[in-house]
Amino acid sequence: MNGLKTTVLLAGLTGLFLVVGAAIGGQSGMTIALVLAVGMNFFAYWNSDKMVLSMYGAREVGPREAPELYEIVRELARRGSLPMPRVYVIDDDTPNAFATGRNPEHAAVAATTGILRILTREELAGVMAHELGHVMNRDILVSTISATIGGAITWLANFAMFFGGSSRDEEEGGGGGLGLVGGLLMMILAPLAATLVQMAISRAREYGADDAGARLSGNPLWLASALEKLERGNRAHPMHAADARPATAHLFIVNPLSAGSLAGLFSTHPPIEERVRRLRHMEGVS
């Protein structure tokens, strides 16, 4: 089922890529978008994790640079019988974290300096266990690739606004682009549609990672407490780097978008209150 959902999600994002291409250049635009989409899917499979980490200026750390974080991740990976992921730190006051990679053998976890400052060791373990839960559930590939393709759709939609589609194809009877009005619509609707496609799967996956993380850490209350702190911290210090890249927002453990951001109205995350309620009602976690 997870594989089917992944296929549907990637097909949906690729389809949106083609629609925006058609809006820009009609039939020829769609053809070019198809070639780009195929190439992007192949490129994203191998490189999307590196691209996302680079977007946020993440730096890889070891036991010397971040001893507590590294040791927590190593212990959790051992408990979950997972390969040791690469560990990254992002210099940002916003408390947040995410996991990326194409499979457990090529996974990475990243935490901001903000999250390292405000969480206790137990709460940090709960967060890292959640991220490794994504690795265990094999969510990270589709999440990372959809961030890459969703970002490309947003870029194409903005491109459409400035160039307004091709009227030449219309004049020649080829169906043509959608013109300036279509370009404006694509600028608004395509990023929204890409977010909605992501949202169809990512909300359920957050609950699944919460559950897996609670069991991996051994105490669901650690993650519940961390989520409450992270929600307050993100309201107080929104991640402006994420506002500039809304297609990557679903990667983070809590929604990093500011309340004033249009994309923030379409969060790919379930409500924190519901996540905390579920965690507090978990029993028999060991």
Q: Which residues are catalytic?
A: 131
Tell me the H-state helices in the chain. Answer: 2-55, 67-79, 113-118, 121-136, 140-163, 168-171, 179-217, 220-236, 240-243, 272-280
State both tokens at 166.
Answer: 């091709």
Q: Which amino acid is at 255?
A: N
Q: For residue 101, what is the enclosing H or E element?
A: strand 97-101
**Cα 153 from Cα 36, distance rounded (Å):** 11
DSSP annotation of 177 reads: -
Q: Which amino acid is at 40?
A: M
134, 2 contact by CB (below 8 A)? no
Phi first, then psi: what are they for 109, rounded to 5°? -120, 145
Q: Which residues contact 247 (CB under 8 A, 6 or more apart)?
A: 146, 147, 148, 150, 151, 153, 154, 191, 194, 195, 198
**Cα 151 from Cα 144, distance rounded (Å):** 11
